[in-house]
Amino acid sequence: MDMMKVFAYNMKKYRKKRRLSQMKLADILDTTTSYIGGMEICANVPSMGMVEKIAKALEIEPFRLFVDDRPQLGDETPAADDYLECLTTLERQDLAKRIITRISQDVEKILQPETEKSHFRVDGKSGTENSLPEG
């Protein structure tokens, strides 16, 4: 378990639950929004004193920031938003790339005229179904 990811997830979750923007939380903690944002993406590691200040501002016990209740892929019905919040920025970018690639492939198949579809071999190269491989 990556404690910083757990902390970042919980900090953001409780901040949103209290309807605090990063800017408002930064004001309460007398710090910068970039520091708050950095903690929420695991780029900044807070001191124990800051953890206590964050917990007090979020009106929770400090240990709640370290309880791993993030949704897991194997859960019965994980909410998509909760799952996405568990992902790091790089993981989100990778997921987005894979989704876009898949959609593009599906769109190409849909737009391909029926006559072309019947002339593709199993290996995906063009030619009639009965044509011999070029050699």
Least confident of 5-9, 54-58, 131-135: 131-135
pLDDT digits (tens, 9 = 90+) for 10-54: 999 999 999 999 999 999 999 999 999 999 999 999 999 999 999
Q: What gap in Å lies between CA 115 and CA 118, rounded to an integer?
A: 6
Q: Which CATH fold topology does 3-66 show?
A: 434 Repressor (Amino-terminal Domain) (1.10.260)
Between the alpha carbon of residue 12 and those of residues 34, 40, 56, 121, 133, the distances in Å are 14, 6, 14, 51, 57
pLDDT digits (tens, 9 = 90+) for 69-100: 776 655 554 455 555 666 667 777 787 788 88
Domain ranges of the chain: 3-66, 87-117
